[in-house]
Structure 1
């Protein structure tokens, strides 16, 4: 498949002449190019938005960007599936409808999921069976930032940041109507997807509308749903060939508009997301999800005085989902609240360029019913942050960032005896990062980042007390939990020149008070009573415990053009990663860590045609905690062919993609359900996109 590339920059790079705005209509711009030119545009390094508020040509963050044709060819049904296999990124893999990104072995509240730079308000970090209320179909661009540079978004971005960008609030005038319609079909689960958006306006006003629909049947799998290891333990062979309760649907729509003046804009948008999907761990359980979002964004530029520009984003979300067992609502989750972010770019202070900013949020989470793991809790956060950059010489670039954050969690008076005694907690957390880049040549650079981050425990890590069917545990929080403290280091060598891109880097994260779900050896029933393991409803007790932990590994990616004859070219690419995570006190490995993975890709372009071949091998993961099962190695083969052409004023892209053509049994080591829910077997996907 057409590879994504690391973010590489050179002072003389043509991309430095591109206008830098957060919500550029990227897809429409790329679609207006000839097929081979569009591919070249994606080979050039796109401008990074996330964790780069200065819009510099040389941000230091290790990052990945998917957009344009690359995004269309790689897009999965979920955000996690779309990003899985990018350097340092794996997925929680809870069936075809639920897959949250994992970055460098960290998931849940250690990964910040953003939409246009503002955090989403949902329940996906609480449980593996809770889907993200976001569809890759509505995204024009997806950015992944790894490592210490992500600290500007808070302690819960210690693993990294995933930011999806759309154009619901246009940031620039749209004087020529533009739009997109895209549809596709995948054979593995008879998945049908369609998305459309349209934008038009004048020099003073722009309007954007979009909508999408996804639905699928049961997922076809190669052989048994349960792994051979699990079948040997419990003696159960069925089900087979299809993954039960793996069907679902999702719909969404949005409308937004902006008013423009000479040095800024102000915009408002409203969006909805609605889904109904099955829990593959519980054959009789369906999840119905609904989200309403209202967002306000704007920017004022070219100001006189110490502040040169101010940009802000504010979002309010009303989220809820119900877990329905055999037609009866068992548990209802609600999360309502707002988050805002303000960034102000100051005038140069001698050699320093920088931004200062503030972020604030207030959310109220409630869980009602059979699986009410936590009491109703209000969480308030407020933070100040700054990022300064110094181009010390033609070769040296330095960046320094810092953030101070206050978090307060306040549980409501207990109406359930399980939560009696839960008390409010408050935390003051600080983070700092230092980055440096040295250019050995205009194309070859050494980049180093270091940081110290503190993360406040979330409400569920503090107050959880109840059965958790999604993981098959009885989960108990740690009311005395302290802040996580982590030292993080990155070191990378990057090369970028025209069609040749490469990056290889190592990272190390050293945690103090890492909150891990550890089995205690006891068993409890649904009522919370300690019971023998042979009791019919006995669940192993897991408690959030503070441990000393470390995560380290290597990430690499790159591509080279070995044949170039104008409109004809042949590229080779290689990407992969390796991560290890340990309890430093015991030496025991931490759970759900992806093994060594490597993907070799080749692509050939001829005029409007583009073809790609990927071969991915994931090694076996034998480094698992006690009482956990290892995962086997697997190799997959993927193939795609696309044709881009223009009719009148419409740019068309037709594509055919084959996934897992060898019908390999894929069990993600990072998935809590790997032994009962494998990935899809052989699948063919056909799609068509029209843009104007």
Structure 2
């Protein structure tokens, strides 16, 4: 994996290795020569493990450098879609939140440098994640129960985006990079730039990004064959593009830090603005704004019982407005903070570990026509810890635990339908155990088991209003209890030089899995029954706890089939499958990705590169009674790259073709799959440079 775009001859990083630093991989990359280098750098994966171990017990994936640049899409979810066990929600090209092993919403924790960055994306599928991947240096994904150190709402996994807005290591001189691209199925015009500098003690970071898109082009009708049959003859049928699918977002950041031999301390600010259309409503635009302030510090080589101390803090002020025909219908706000302290202790006998404290508080409100929930303040305080024991050179054991108290306090704000909403308190505990056993230097077996509890969210408790994005009138369950899950996974791993592979299975069984159930009634915006065929009729749905189970497989591997001189050829394979059902009724759970497989050939000859990727998704016929199935599809993608130097700068030029077979692609995970498919055939050109 190439990382030359981060290098600078003017920069000198400290050579001291700090395994606990959240940005260690970035630090390692930046310490290299500015010369173009394809030598893979072994990452230190820290999202799932504050001890910074290479050999993680948890199932995990990461992506950075040029590999991330060549995957970048218009949303975080689409950028990560196709990694093992990872799919995405969609609500048009601008909106996509990661799904891990069939779980989405509040069961997937989205972090920015290890702490929360509040938004409204878990509440509704039409709410974008306010982050552009142009500003991200690395993404780490942890699948399954090993993510519990980040809370019960990481029961399905964690996605941690990492940047260098607070420099963690000394910088000398000034360096920067620029990234620009054009194309795709929506003619996206995107660009980003960053500059960093320092004198070996004080360091600064400045970045900015901008992305603008036109309507998304598609191979045929926007509505699926099944949906057009239900629409009737008088419903307009868009063809060739998705109406109201254009948008623009931009933002930037400034940050600074002071570094010394055994640590750093810094602060940063970043802002984000977006304006995009709702693909389900031709006259609705969403205008989004987010301010985020972060502070971070780490002290190493301490005396006493703790050898390292790390602190992360983030405060977010988020707002978005839904504009209907030029008038603001609903304003969503979410503001709050999260702070996390981790302390790595000295060895206690054979145990190496860390303990920590996390506190957070945020207030969410939805004001206006779609006042779906009352203004709700959620306060969380938690203790967590992780211990590892290297029993032998071949066997490593790990044990993690977390205990948290969650308080949810609603306020009616004069809205009578929320007047009786009760305050709720929850105590949630989670514990996990894992083992890694090396069969020989190349092969290992890894297993995890965990018990996890998740407190209900404000919208699962107090929803009482129309939700036009999903065509529902949602009713919460104010008496809902904690969600409880027993999860396990087992995998066989192989690693030998450039050849790597993993084959794993997972199983999770939930007690009181909170999900939406349609009551069968059609209602209006005031929850009054209406006759079938009534304009703007909504399906009434209630939150209810059921027993549920998820199980599946994940396969991925890379094999170097040719390596001679300046040439190499790798074959890559990824496949995953998730089966999810309501145990009480046997009915499938909604929006589950089908069996998927990706086969890729990655060729390099000196500065030239070529990658061909074939993706096949099978049909998804296992859907709830009122859902429509999705068909299979096969897409072909090609990426051509050329790396060169001009003076003291490094350059990467690339051309990326997507869906070259011009397939009609409808993700089973999308709530708008029958009215807004994915983009058709497209070509994008891009250029990156570092100085």
Q: Name the TM tier (shorter chain).
A: over 0.9
Residue 273 of structure 1 deviates from its aligned partner by: 0.3
User: Quick one: which of 217, 220, 237 aligns to 2:217?
Assistant: 220
Structure 2 counterparts to residues 530-541 of structure 1, below 5 A: 530-541=529-540
Residue 537 of structure 1 deviates from its aligned partner by: 3.3
User: Quick one: which of 164, 168, 181 aligns to 2:165?
Assistant: 168
Please identify, of 16-25 and 163-172, the stretch whose mean Cα deviation from structure 2 is larger: 16-25
For 2:299 and 2:511, how far apart are their aligned partners in 1?
Answer: 41
Counterpart in 2 of 1:438? Answer: 437
Counterpart in 2 of 1:552? Answer: 551
Q: SS at 2:173's partner residue?
A: coil
Structure 2 counterparts to residues 19-98 of structure 1, below 5 A: 20=19, 21-24=21-24, 25=26, 29=30, 32=33, 35=36, 37-38=37-38, 40-41=39-40, 44-98=41-95
Residue 69 of structure 1 deviates from its aligned partner by: 1.2
Counterpart in 2 of 1:484? Answer: 483
Residue 33 of structure 1 deviates from its aligned partner by: 5.7
Residue pair 1:291, 1:319 contacting (<8 A) in 2 also: yes
Residue 521 of structure 1 deviates from its aligned partner by: 0.7
Change (3 A) 1:641 1:93: same
Residue 252 of structure 1 deviates from its aligned partner by: 0.9
Please identify, of 174-183 and 287-296, the stretch whose mean Cα deviation from structure 2 is larger: 174-183
For 1:554 and 1:487, how far apart are their aligned partners in 2?
Answer: 17
For 2:486 and 2:183, how far apart are their aligned partners in 1?
Answer: 43
For 2:462 and 2:523, how far apart are their aligned partners in 1?
Answer: 17
Q: SS at 2:119's partner residue?
A: coil
Q: SS at 1:47's partner residue?
A: coil
Counterpart in 1 of 2:274? Answer: 275
Structure 2 counterparts to residues 186-201 of structure 1, below 5 A: 186-201=183-198
Residue pair 1:212, 1:253 contacting (<8 A) in 2 also: yes
Residue 260 of structure 1 deviates from its aligned partner by: 1.7
For 2:623 and 2:673, how far apart are their aligned partners in 1?
Answer: 13
Change (3 A) 1:679 1:27: farther
Structure 2 counterparts to residues 173-184 of structure 1, below 5 A: 173-184=170-181
Counterpart in 1 of 2:494? Answer: 495
For 1:86 and 1:48, how far apart are their aligned partners in 2?
Answer: 16
Residue 518 of structure 1 deviates from its aligned partner by: 1.1
Residue 283 of structure 1 deviates from its aligned partner by: 0.6
Counterpart in 2 of 1:103? Answer: 100
Q: Which has the higher contact order (CA 8 A, sep 6+)?
A: 1
Residue 202 of structure 1 deviates from its aligned partner by: 1.7
Change (3 A) 1:282 1:495: same
Residue 498 of structure 1 deviates from its aligned partner by: 1.0
**Residues 656-680 of structure 1 deviation map (CA, whole Å, 9 limit, x = unaligned):** 0000001000000000110000000
Structure 2 counterparts to residues 290-439 of structure 1, below 5 A: 290-439=289-438
Counterpart in 1 of 2:141? Answer: 144
Q: SS at 2:317's partner residue?
A: strand
Q: What is the TM-score normalised by the length of structure 2?
A: 0.96
Counterpart in 1 of 2:226? Answer: 229
**Residues 188-225 of structure 1 deviation map (CA, whole Å, 9 limit, x = unaligned):** 11101101111110221100011100000100011000
Residue pair 1:28, 1:691 contacting (<8 A) in 2 also: no
For 1:411 and 1:358, how far apart are their aligned partners in 2?
Answer: 25
Residue pair 1:31, 1:691 contacting (<8 A) in 2 also: no
For 1:392 and 1:425, how far apart are their aligned partners in 2?
Answer: 43
Structure 1 stretches lacking a partner, 5+ long: 5-15
For 1:351 and 1:177, how far apart are their aligned partners in 2?
Answer: 44
* 2:585 matches 1:586: yes
For 2:72 and 2:46, how far apart are their aligned partners in 1?
Answer: 20
Please identify, of 462-471 and 645-654, the stretch whose mean Cα deviation from structure 2 is larger: 645-654
Residue pair 2:46, 2:53 contacting (<8 A) in 1 also: no
Residue 563 of structure 1 deviates from its aligned partner by: 0.5
For 2:168 and 2:92, how far apart are their aligned partners in 1?
Answer: 36
Q: SS at 2:267's partner residue?
A: strand
For 1:28 and 1:158, how far apart are their aligned partners in 2?
Answer: 31
* 2:108 matches 1:116: no
Residue 616 of structure 1 deviates from its aligned partner by: 0.4
For 1:523 and 1:405, how far apart are their aligned partners in 2?
Answer: 39
Counterpart in 2 of 1:8? Answer: none
Please identify, of 260-269 and 450-459, the stretch whose mean Cα deviation from structure 2 is larger: 260-269
Residue pair 1:411, 1:422 contacting (<8 A) in 2 also: yes
Counterpart in 1 of 2:649? Answer: 650
**Residues 640-692 of structure 1 deviation map (CA, whole Å, 9 limit, x = unaligned):** 01011122221111000000001000000000110000000001011000013
Q: SS at 1:531's partner residue?
A: coil
Residue 32 of structure 1 deviates from its aligned partner by: 4.8
RMSD: 1.6
Q: SS at 1:176's partner residue?
A: strand
Counterpart in 2 of 1:627? Answer: 626
Equivalent pairs, count: 676
Change (3 A) 1:237 1:622: farther
Residue 415 of structure 1 deviates from its aligned partner by: 1.4
Q: SS at 2:74's partner residue?
A: coil
**Residues 213-245 of structure 1 deviation map (CA, whole Å, 9 limit, x = unaligned):** 000010001100000011111234610101000
Structure 2 stretches lacking a partner, 5+ long: 4-14
Counterpart in 2 of 1:461? Answer: 460
Structure 2 counterparts to residues 537-686 of structure 1, below 5 A: 537-686=536-685
**Residues 459-492 of structure 1 deviation map (CA, whole Å, 9 limit, x = unaligned):** 0000000110110011110111000000010100
Counterpart in 1 of 2:12? Answer: none
**Residues 266-311 of structure 1 deviation map (CA, whole Å, 9 limit, x = unaligned):** 1010110000000101110000000011111101110011011100
Residue pair 1:145, 1:161 contacting (<8 A) in 2 also: yes
For 1:530 and 1:621, how far apart are their aligned partners in 2?
Answer: 32
Residue 333 of structure 1 deviates from its aligned partner by: 0.4
For 2:447 and 2:561, how far apart are their aligned partners in 1?
Answer: 30
Residue 530 of structure 1 deviates from its aligned partner by: 2.7
For 1:594 and 1:650, how far apart are their aligned partners in 2?
Answer: 43
